[in-house]
Amino acid sequence: CHLLQILSYLGACDRLLKQGYEEGQVEEAMEMFQYSEKKAAEFLHLLAQFNDMGFQQNEIKEVLLLCGNQREKALEELVMK
Q: What is the mean pLDDT of residues 35-57?
A: 97
Instruction: Please report the pLDDT score of residue 15 as a whole number.
Output: 97
How many domains does the chain divide into? 1
Domain containing residue 64: 2-80
Task: Quote the CA–CA distance of 30 and 65 in Å, as a whole number.
Answer: 13
Residue 33, SS3?
coil
Task: Quote the CA–CA distance of 30 and 55 in Å, as a whole number.
Answer: 22
Helix-then-strand count for the chain, H and E: 5, 0
Q: What is the CATH number of the domain that holds 24?
A: 1.20.120.1920
Number of residues assigned to the chain: 81
Does the pLDDT of residue 81 top 90, yes or no? no
